[in-house]
Amino acid sequence: MLRKRTGRPRRQSKKDTGFTLLLLSNSEKKPVQFQLPPLFFKGLLTVTLLLIGLTGYGLISAALLKPVARQKVVLEQEIAQLRAEQDKIRSENQNLRAYSAQQDKEMQNLQEVSAEIKNNIENLQGRDSEIRGKLGLPAESSASGSGETAQAETQASETPVGEAKTTEDLQPLMLGDAGESDIYDTTAGTPAENILQRESNIQLSVLMGARQRRNTMQLAAELEQSRAMLSEASDNYDQYEGVIRSQEFQEEQRRERATQRRQSIRAYALSFLGGRYVWGGENPYSGVDCSGFTRYILSHAGGVSISRSSAEQAGEGRTVTADSMQPGDLLFYSKGGGVNHVAMYIGNGQVVHASSSKTGIIVSAWNYRTPVRIASYLN
């Protein structure tokens, strides 16, 4: 038996048919109809929202990135300026190093020249003392000069270049000693602070360079003063040396004349070699004894007047040694305690004398007998 089903009838789902797009014309043509599914409108909405979102994101990003870009440009400009300042400082540092090296070299040259001039002055002072001694002049007091020299040396040794003696002591202040350190290192300060610090170091170096220039000028002035002293000492030395040379020349002329005089006496005495011996005789042309012979020769050839007898002649003149006797000097011999004979030295260890009536005027060795005295009557 069939039972009839009862209850609510099942609702049939309406099929989603989408949208219809009609394009109407002003003419009497049939309108164009487009059937658009629902998915099309969903996609169109999604694309529209996506475009709106992207546009908004772009606008927001541009608004946010614009200050960053502006700040980046400012930073790049600051970096370029700081690099230019760094290059300028490095260039000034190199110039300061070169100038300091030049100043050190000039200082060393000045010190060497000053030492040389000081040495020359000491030598000239020594020569001046020697010349004054030869001239019999009083020694010049050097107390004031030595005091000034000591004071100048003290000032030169105590003159500081800041606290540095050479530019090597200035190197810790030079920028180059920092190497290629990063000027943007925030641990050491801001870039501006680093630049200011470096400029302060440069100014300090320039100040020290100025002090060194001032000390160099002071040393140059002292050098000029030393040169003036040297010039004055040289003039005095030339003057004294001229006097000494004149005296030496005169002394040399005197010795030369004395030598010529003695040679003339020798030659004149030898011209009577072989002459007669006559006791009591005074002229070698006619006959002469020993003391008459020496008296005649010294009087006619030497222009010197001596006594007549050998004993009297032995008491005159100045005594000389056998090592220093020269032609024209007289040698006296004794027998029985008194001087009884005299001979004239002619050089080469020989004497000429009127020996005896048997031999006449002859040449003998100076020590053929032992002389008791040797005397010179010539200057």
Q: What CATH number does the domain containing 330 carry?
A: 3.90.1720.10
Q: Please report, to the nearest 10 degrees, the dihedral formed by the alpha carbons of residues 244, 247, 248, 252 taken in order.
A: 170
User: Do 214 and 296 share a domain, yes or no?
Assistant: no
User: Do 215 and 319 share a domain, yes or no?
Assistant: no
Distance CA 147, CA 96 (A): 37
User: Do 230 and 313 share a domain, yes or no?
Assistant: no
Dump strand ranges (E) for 246-304: 282-283, 287-288
User: Do 127 and 188 share a domain, yes or no?
Assistant: yes
Residue 5 is predicted with a pLDDT of 52
Among the candidates 215, 250, 285, a domain finishes at: 250
Q: Which two tokens stand for residue 92?
A: 């000034």
Residue 15 is predicted with a pLDDT of 53
In a domain, 26, yes or no: no
Bridge partners for 33 per DSSP:
22
To 10 degrees, what angle do helices 191-270 and 143-158 make?
150
- What is residue 260's three-state secondary structure? helix
Q: Cβ distance 345 to 366 under 8 Å? A: yes
Q: Please report, to the nearest 10 degrees, the dihedral formed by the alpha carbons of residues 32, 37, 41, 46 taken in order.
A: -140
Domain extent at residue 309:
271-376
Of the chain, the end-to-end C-alpha distance in Å amounts to 199
Length of the chain: 379
CA 368 from chain centre, in angstroms, equals 69
Distance CA 294, CA 308 (A): 9
In a domain, 20, yes or no: no
Q: Cβ distance 226 to 153 under 8 Å? A: no
In a domain, 266, yes or no: no
User: Do 98 and 170 share a domain, yes or no?
Assistant: yes
Residue 179 is predicted with a pLDDT of 44
In a domain, 35, yes or no: no
* Cα torsion angle, 94, 96, 98, 104, sign: negative
User: Do 242 and 301 share a domain, yes or no?
Assistant: no
Q: Cβ distance 97 to 176 under 8 Å? A: yes
Counted domains in the chain? 2
* Cα torsion angle, 348, 353, 355, 358, sign: positive
User: Do 85 and 189 share a domain, yes or no?
Assistant: yes
Residue 238 is predicted with a pLDDT of 67
- Residue 73: Cβ within 10 Å count: 10
CA 277 from chain centre, in angstroms, equals 79
Q: Cβ distance 287 to 324 under 8 Å? A: no
CA 82 from chain centre, in angstroms, equals 42
- Among 338, 256, 257, 346, which Cα is nearest to 293's? 346
Residue 297 is predicted with a pLDDT of 97
User: Do 79 and 132 share a domain, yes or no?
Assistant: yes
CA 330 from chain centre, in angstroms, equals 63
- Among 280, 278, 245, which Cα is nearest to 361's? 278
Distance CA 204, CA 210 (A): 10
- What is residue 196's three-state secondary structure? helix
Cβ-count burial of 85 within 10 angstroms (0-12 exposed, 13-18 middle, 19+ buried)?
middle
User: Do 208 and 311 share a domain, yes or no?
Assistant: no
What one-character DSSP code corresponds to residue 188? Answer: G
Residue 152 is predicted with a pLDDT of 45
Amino acid at 62: A
In a domain, 292, yes or no: yes
In a domain, 117, yes or no: yes
Q: Which two tokens stand for residue 76?
A: 């790049």
In a domain, 2, yes or no: no
* Cα torsion angle, 188, 192, 195, 200, sign: negative
Residue 96 is predicted with a pLDDT of 82
Among the candidates 218, 250, 282, a domain finishes at: 250
Q: How many CA atoms lie within 13 A of 354 on its CB side?
A: 28
User: Do 237 and 194 share a domain, yes or no?
Assistant: yes
User: Do 245 and 277 share a domain, yes or no?
Assistant: no
User: Which contiguous run of DSSP H or E holds residue 40?
Assistant: helix 38-135
pLDDT, tens digit only, all 379 positions of the chain: 444 455 555 554 555 556 777 777 777 677 777 777 778 777 888 888 899 988 888 888 777 877 877 888 888 888 888 888 888 888 888 888 888 788 888 888 888 887 887 787 787 777 777 777 766 667 655 444 444 444 544 554 444 444 444 444 544 444 444 444 444 344 455 655 566 666 666 666 666 666 766 777 777 777 777 777 777 776 666 666 677 777 777 888 888 889 999 999 999 999 999 999 999 999 999 999 999 999 999 999 999 999 999 999 999 999 999 999 999 999 999 988 899 999 999 999 999 999 999 999 999 999 999 999 999 999 7
User: Do 338 and 207 share a domain, yes or no?
Assistant: no
